[in-house]
Structure 1
Amino acid sequence: MSVDAMVNTAVLSSLNDIVFHELTEGLGVIMNLPLLSKRKHAAVLAQKLRKLSAKTCEK
């Protein structure tokens, strides 16, 4: 798999946060979403995307 840090990626996974982090570290994955995601998970993802967008626009 090639890595492009300019692509915002979230992954649906049943892995716990520690294992997920170990397996995806350095791949530019924003966050791990549970397989049965809810509105609150989407809100967290949206907030992280807003923060990334703001940092990108500052440059």
Structure 2
Amino acid sequence: MPANTRSSRLLAADGSKTLLESVLYSPDLAVILAKRYDDGTAQESTVGYEEIKPLKSQ
């Protein structure tokens, strides 16, 4: 199953857009794979995981 993307816009008090956050989520793994932040400039940043390991059971 492909990953899902969800976006959120954070607005300033005057209603202007200040930040767009996109989340890449894998339903099969039930985990967020990456987050992308865009403040409307050329400086877009993506934070992702290179490796995902299962948690140790107790």
The verdict on a shared fold, with TM-score over 0.5 as the criterion, is no
TM-score, normalised to structure 2's length? 0.28
TM-score, normalised to structure 1's length? 0.28
Question: Which is strand-richer, 1 or 2?
Answer: 2
Question: Which is helix-richer, 1 or 2?
Answer: 1
> Structure with the greater relative contact order (CA < 8 A, sep ≥ 6): 1 or 2?
1
